[in-house]
């Protein structure tokens, strides 16, 4: 899905944003794999524990399916309500490094700073959790 979005950016001549999209997507997948490996409990479970976890998985699958159905209906409503007759043409400077930097540090400076603080807190928390397991 995100690689398709990067392809759309390439078609819009926004090569910088396309490369950023791929790098961020690959980084997110690597972090997800690292968390799964770190949090995976490889100790053997008894038979009773296996059945209890299966019951929880069924409930989570049903709730996830209901959520996905609701999101799909909302997407269909948005598509049906939209006016797609006129093509959207991006501005000439769309996707350039200068344009991204200008918008990021003028219009979106508060969300940028909040995201940076959130990432810093997450990094410090990961170090504290890893250090406490070693000690």
pLDDT tens, position by position, 9-68:
888 888 888 888 888 888 888 888 887 777 776 665 555 565 566 667 788 889 999 999
Question: What is the pTM assigned to this prediction?
Answer: 0.42
Q: Name the more confident of 42 and 82.
A: 82
Give the pLDDT of residue 131: 76
CB 5 within 8 A of CB 21: yes
How is the chain classified by DSSP, letter by letter?
-HHHHHHHHHHTT-HHHHHHHHHHHHHHHHHHHHHHHHH---SPPPHHHHHHHHHHHHHHHHHHHHHHHHHHHHHHHHHHHS--SSPPPPPTTTT-HHHHHHHHHHTTHHHHHHHHHHHHHHHHHHHHHHHHHH-
Give the pLDDT of residue 98: 86
Domain boundaries, the chain: 96-135
pLDDT tens, position by position, 85-121:
666 666 677 777 888 888 888 999 999 899 999 999 9
């Amino acid at each position: 899905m995100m690689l398709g979005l990067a392809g759309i950016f390439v078609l819009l001549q926004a090569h910088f944003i396309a490369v950023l999209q791929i790098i961020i997507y690959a980084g997110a997948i690597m972090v997800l794999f690292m968390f799964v490996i770190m949090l995976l409990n490889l100790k053997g479970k008894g038979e009773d524990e296996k059945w209890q976890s299966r019951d929880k998985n069924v409930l989570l699958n049903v709730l996830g399916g209901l959520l996905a159905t609701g999101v799909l209906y909302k997407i269909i409503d948005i598509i049906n309500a939209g006016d797609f007759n006129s093509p959207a043409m991006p501005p000439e400077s769309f996707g350039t490094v200068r344009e991204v930097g200008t918008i990021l540090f003028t219009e979106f400076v508060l969300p940028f700073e909040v995201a940076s603080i959130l990432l810093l807190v997450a990094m410090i928390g990961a170090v504290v959790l890893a250090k406490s397991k070693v000690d």
